[in-house]
Structure 1
Amino acid sequence: MEFPEEVLAHIFSYLSVKERESASAVCTRWSQSMSHPRVWRYTEIRCETGEQEDPALQHFSSLLPLVRHLKITVSSLSDPANRSAALSVLRMATSGPLRTLTLSCSGGVPLFYSGHDLEEGLEAALTASPEHVGGAFLSHLDLRGVPFTLSQSLVRVLARQSPNLRSLLVNNQTLVCKVEPEAVVEVLGLCPLLNTLGLFYTSLSQKVVDELLLPQRCPLLAMELYCERFAKYIPPLEDSVWAGLKHRHPGLKVSCHDLEEGLEAALTASPEHVGGAFLSHLDLRGVPFTLSQSLVRVLARQSPNLRSLLVNNQTLVCKVEPEAVVEVLGLCPLLNTLGLFYTSLSQKVVDELLLPQRCPLLAMELYCERFAKYIPPLEDSVWAGLKHRHPGLKVSLILDHTLPMDHFSSVLQPSVPLQHLELLTFTDLVQQTHLVTQSYSHALETIILQTTSSPELDSALRSLAAACSLLREVHCYCVVSCDVIRAFKDGCPRLWRYTLKTRKEPHPWRCTVIK
């Protein structure tokens, strides 16, 4: 039976570029199908080989102009060959009508690296010429993953070369922001279709707001703001300004990712300042320092319409006590998604969540670390009551290696509506895997294990695969047998990606995507 070319192209589109090269060598028909535009429409390219002339990329260089949605990841900025390979891919891809571009970097950043070569290469690639399309068709540009300070001149050039931009994200959380409000005003003027904007808070001003309020401007749908220490040196936007923006753009949603000092300064600069009836989602999970209880209280007072608050940022110490959580729940009656340390829970918090006038709780993320052993755990009957009051509740649990193993069972109560579980112990987890199989087979969708290999673990994983038919993701960071992989593929019809290795591989282990 021969598949139609469109079906083959759809299948090949899920392969990495290296895997596409291997597939094209199987037969002439596969090789010919590889040139179908659908194969290349959505493409992610990782520059990680340390070779400027990657064989796979060279093999497909003539097909890269077919890419419409491109993500480039540079695995190690310290290697000039990887940076050069990324720029080469960018040049080839922008010779066609590229629609979206995401550029990100992983791994260490060289000391004193300013990113000038990547900036200049990006600017050159997006500049149109008679033989080169450049950024004329670009509608989405995401530079949040770039680890160096973006220059103001680059942002201006991007806007000039890509007038059809609908999404521009330059809030890449570096120590310093060089994009001043005047540059943002120019960008808004050059890109009238922009509806999604990611900025540093310091890039905002009344002039930027005035531009956004113009009657001919298209509706603004989303704004991401990164607030850091320099936010305290600028005049904050008053509540009336945000009210005007909300009136002009009723569909606008704002997300804040921020450092504590800058955020608190932005929210408390004046008694009526900011947030108020505007902020609905706040995610501080990526903040690498301990969040103060006073900040969490300020957030709740200034943002009573919060629907999602995530402060489970996995630091060594949690300063948010249960009393503060009770106050937050009282101040924010619409909260339906909550991310906390396990130590921030108590019976009083549960009592607040059980109130009949409370809106349904949809998701709860809990991070359990060593201090969880000093507090009374929530009993199974408490979880049963929460599940009865909030039938749609899904819980995510992360059990850190600092939590003693003998406390795992007190946290993993059978009535927890557990959807996502991470057991990060680096020790034997056979008993805990059996416990998960017995208690959560009806709800578990994702499990992540940092453990050690053994025949007993393989057996426990096979039992897990047979019982948990709803699993969508399995990531086990130790070597397992081939039977384990087969068991998950056969027993979990919804499984779409997994990290299960039969031999050790260089770090980081990459997951396998099924569908």
Structure 2
Amino acid sequence: MAEPRGQLPEEVLVFIFRHLPLRDRAAAARVCRAWAMAATCSTVWHDTNISSNTSCNREREDMLPPHMSACLNHIRNLRLEFEPSRKPSRQTATELLTELAGRASGLRSLRLECRGEKPLFDAGRDVLDAVHAVCGSARELRHLDLRRLPFTLDDALVLKAASNCPELHSLFLDNSTLIGSVGPGSVLKLLEACPHLRALGLHLASMSRASLEVLAAPDRAPLALLALRCACPEDARASPLPNEAWAALRRRHPGLEVELELEPALPAEIVTCVLQPAVPVAALRLNLSSDTVGPVRFAARHYAATLRALEVRASASAELDAALEELAACCAGLREVHCFCVVRPSVRDAFCAHCPRLRAYTLKLTREPHPWRPTLVA
């Protein structure tokens, strides 16, 4: 390979190549020796983002040329986006994960995101088997984010992470599946095996009083975030998490923020059990088929000191408008409020007047075509 004149410094090439998809990195490596050295540098691969509209979305030949395959050993943080309904995209993503697992990689962070439609009746077994393999080999894994994976996650995956990934700092399993198959017993074993967990995302049915007590133990690392999604029938049948357990957890971790997402599957009596006064709710997303006014008023009374983001999907009503105005007057720390129904002007005026930290809001005074765009506050 001839060396071109006016060669850019290696650090500049490395900076450029870090932002290229896999195939473009391979093409760059064939230009000359200097480009090949830069394209295969560990810095280029340390943080790797693979998007569905680039590498994983093309008709595949080989994922990488053989001379670049060894570069996968350099990946420490991987964000992998693919389309499960497109065979080339899905196959490339699955094979990439499997190859990473086979190398006993030093992977530290894995974030999977699905785009497009999920095939009907698709259990995602091939993808989940690849994730299992990664959890079985990446003992240095610290961050695992499966929130955008639309397949049912199960106890076996959680137990695999518990037995093989003791350094986990964050784990997010609160995905959009309609079936919750991760039981409280598996989560308890995970918490006991991974004492460094600082962020955890689960379906409500996966939590238990015993888990809250383990998280509140004096020798635990500080817990920063607990995200709970309440959206499937198992969540509606889950045992209540008592207020005193939440109070103990909050005393142990005063900086804890809780995100609550309540979906239509939750009946009104379960909503009442979930919304305990001692929960330090920072983000509340209400998309209920039952009463929404009551939860909004409850948040105004009990979450005024912690609430930072509110999202409401409900039918417009004078009662809801009044509840929103009450919440605006109480929650001065709000930074975002998004209401996906038409509200009266006094609601918008209340949030603008009482919430000086407001950064964005969706408060429409007239009906508009969807999607509704938020208004950014200067």
TM-score, with length taken from structure 1: 0.58
Number of the residue aligned with 1:208: 68
Number of the residue aligned with 1:396: 259
Q: Does residue 165 of the first structure (1) align with residue 21 of the second (2)? A: no
Q: Does residue 506 of the first structure (1) align with residue 369 of the second (2)? A: yes
Number of the residue aligned with 1:349: 211
Q: Does residue 291 of the first structure (1) align with residue 142 of the second (2)? A: no
Q: Which amino acid in structure 1 is aligned with residue 198 of structure 2? A: N
Q: CA deviation at 1:371?
A: 2.7
Considering only CA atoms, is the larger Rg found in Structure 1 or Structure 2?
A: 1
8 Å CA contact 2:79, 2:111 repeated in 1:
yes
Q: Which amino acid in structure 1 is aligned with residue 259 of structure 2? A: S
Q: Does residue 383 of the first structure (1) align with residue 246 of the second (2)? A: yes
Q: CA deviation at 1:399?
A: 0.5
Pick one of 437, 446, 459 that aligns with 2:309.
446
Give percent identity, aligned residues only: 34
Give CA-to-partner distance per residue, 1:125-178, whole Å, 9 cap, x none: xxxxxxxxxxx9xx99xxxxxxxxxxxxxxxxxxxxx8851542649xxxxxxx
Matched positions, count: 334
> Residue 330 of structure 1: SS of its match in structure 2?
helix
TM-score, with length taken from structure 2: 0.77
Structure 2 residues without counterparts, runs of 5 or longer: 1-7, 57-61, 83-89, 114-123
8 Å CA contact 1:371, 1:403 repeated in 2:
no
Q: Structure 1's 266 and 371: CA in aligned 2 closer, same or farther, altered over 3 A?
A: closer
Number of the residue aligned with 2:110: 255
Q: Structure 1's 184 and 263: CA in aligned 2 closer, same or farther, altered over 3 A?
A: farther
Distance (Å, rounded) in 1 between the aligned partners of 2:110 and 2:217? 28
Q: Which amino acid in structure 2 is aligned with residue 410 of structure 1? A: C
Q: Does residue 338 of the first structure (1) align with residue 200 of the second (2)? A: yes
Q: Which has the higher contact order (CA 8 A, sep 6+)?
A: 2
Q: Which residues in structure 2 correspond to 1:148-297 (within 5 Å)?
A: 165-168=16-19, 170=21, 179=23, 186=30, 189=36, 191=39, 194=44, 196-199=47-50, 203=63, 207-208=67-68, 210-211=70-71, 222-225=77-80, 228=90, 231=94, 236-237=99-100, 242-243=105-106, 254-257=109-112, 261-265=126-130, 267-268=132-133, 274-277=137-140, 279-297=141-159
Give CA-to-partner distance per residue, 1:176-215, whole Å, 9 cap, x none: xxx59955865972656736422379846874364578xx
> Residue 99 of structure 2: SS of its match in structure 1?
coil
Q: Structure 1's 264 and 226: CA in aligned 2 closer, same or farther, altered over 3 A?
A: farther
Structure 1 residues without counterparts, runs of 5 or longer: 1-135, 141-161, 172-178, 214-218, 247-252
Distance (Å, rounded) in 2 between the aligned partners of 1:166 and 1:433? 48
Q: CA deviation at 1:273?
A: 5.8
Q: CA deviation at 1:354?
A: 2.3
Distance (Å, rounded) in 1 between the aligned partners of 2:249 and 2:223? 9
8 Å CA contact 1:423, 1:449 repeated in 2:
yes
8 Å CA contact 1:181, 1:204 repeated in 2:
no
Q: Structure 1's 436 and 266: CA in aligned 2 closer, same or farther, altered over 3 A?
A: closer
Give CA-to-partner distance per residue, 1:398-428, whole Å, 9 cap, x none: 0101111222111000000100000102554
Q: Which amino acid in structure 2 is aligned with residue 345 of structure 1? A: M
Q: CA deviation at 1:320?
A: 0.0
